[in-house]
Amino acid sequence: MNSIHLHAHAKINLYLDVLGKRPDGYHNLETVFQSISLYDEVTIHRRGEGIRVFCNHPDVPTEASNTVVRAAHHLLQTAGIGEDLEIRIDKNIPVAAGLAGGSADAAAVLVGLNELLDLRYPIEKLMQIGVKVGADIPFCLLGGTAIGRGIGDELQPLPPIGNVSFMIANPGFPVSTAWAFRQLNFRLTNSPKNVTILTQNLNKRDWVRVGRSLYNVFEQVVVPQYPVIRELLERLRSLGAVGSLMTGTGPTVFGWMPDRDVAEKAVHDLSVAYGVVTEGCGQGIQII
């Protein structure tokens, strides 16, 4: 086999709290991740010279800082081999949007190379390699619904949530994750919500209570800087969402809309750079 094609799915956070800064500079988090149906397409060919990246999005770097190059280097180093690779990324996931697009692409390259080079590494080993590149990569490899602790890499999978629908809306500008963490500055109030209640509501499929249990600490610092996010969150509720939340460090938001017709009408009514209806689904990385 000389090439492989994969779908790299984005994530949202149904819950995200930052518990504190660690001595190593990272932060301890408590989060609930959910894979969504939106994906980038990643194709890997064994050809050319060195590792070359081609991408259809102008804001994505194609040199060494691209997450896929870093992931490929770490994997090849672990395996003790060299390979010439061309990696093509077709971005559908908005960039710097809180949807972990770069992490998903890197996870796809780990899964793709594991298959292409017949390395037969278990997912746990791919996660260990992935976390060196980005804290969200272990979840992108796992997919589905999961609680994340530590830097987001200590994962506890949750039962699939089924086909409940929600919509995501991206207002069309980037937010830097590093900047958002700096703004936190630990002037934080304790979370008024909690993961246990959210997961109980998910298990009971009580979508109205799920909508009320959503929480993201970053709304406190990102929304005041970008009032359009507040407007979008409120607009989603007025369009029928039982809850709305910013994902990751923003600016993407989602509306929890268990009624699919409501979600589709809301996407139609909203004028945002990007809006899409998605369903609670289990994909992480798929080999196509």
- Choices 18-26, 65-73, 208-216, 277-285 (CB under 6 A): range interacting with ligand ATP: 65-73
- HEC-encoded secondary structure of the chain: CCEEEEEEEEEEEEEEEEEEECCCCCEEEEEEEEEEEEEEEEEEECCCCCEEEEECCCCCCCCCCCHHHHHHHHHHHHHCCCCCEEEEEECCCCCCCCCCHHHHHHHHHHHHHHHHCCCCCCHHHHHHHHCCCCCCHHHHHHCCEEEEECCCCEEEEECCCCCCEEEEEECCCCCCHHHHHHHHCCCCCCCCCCHHHHHHHHHCCCHHHHHHHCEECCHHHHCCCCHHHHHHHHHHHHCCCCEEEECCCCCCEEEECCCHHHHHHHHHHCCCCEEEEEECCCCCEEEC
- For residue 95, state whether it binds ligand ATP (rule: CB under 6 A): yes
Q: Which stretch binds ligand ATP (CB under 6 A): 62-70, 73-81, 118-126, 200-208?
A: 62-70
Read off the tokens for 161.
């949530």
Q: Is 31 in the site for ligand ATP (CB under 6 A)?
A: no
Which of 17, 40, 105, 136 is an active site residue?
136
Tell whether residue 66 is a contact of ligand ATP (CB under 6 A): yes
Q: Is 11 among the residues known to form the active site? A: yes
Burial of 163 (0-12, 13-18, 19+ CB in 10 A): exposed
**Quick one: 54 or 204, whose CB is closer to ligand ATP?**
54
Residues 253, 239: Cα–Cα separation, whole Å: 14
* From 60, 108, 141, 281, residue interacting with ligand ATP (rule: CB under 6 A): 60
Smallest separation, CB 247 to ligand ATP (Å): 8
Q: Does 89 bind ligand ATP (CB under 6 A)?
A: yes
Our CB check for ligand ATP shows the closer of 59 and 234 to be 59
Q: Smallest distance, Å, CB 17 to ligand ATP?
A: 15
Minimum distance, C-beta of residue 136 to ligand ATP, in the bound complex (Å): 4
Site string for ligand ATP, 140-179 (x = CB under 6 A): ----------------------------------x--x--
Rule CB under 6 A: say whether 99 interacts with ligand ATP.
yes
Number of residues that bind ligand ATP (CB under 6 A): 23
Is 98 among the residues that bind ligand ATP (CB under 6 A)?
A: yes
The verdict on 216 binding ligand ATP (CB under 6 A) reads no
CB 137 within 8 A of CB 103: yes
Piece of 64-72, 80-88, 116-124, 231-239 that binds ligand ATP (CB under 6 A): 64-72
- Shortest reach from residue 99's CB to ligand ATP, in Å: 5
**Residue 214 φ then ψ, to 5°:** -70, 145
Taking the complex as a whole, the smallest distance from the CB of residue 104 to ligand ATP amounts, in Å, to 8
The site for ligand ATP (CB under 6 A) is made up of: 59-61, 65-68, 89, 95-103, 105, 136, 174, 177, 248-249
Query: Which positions are annotated as active-site residues?
Result: 11, 136
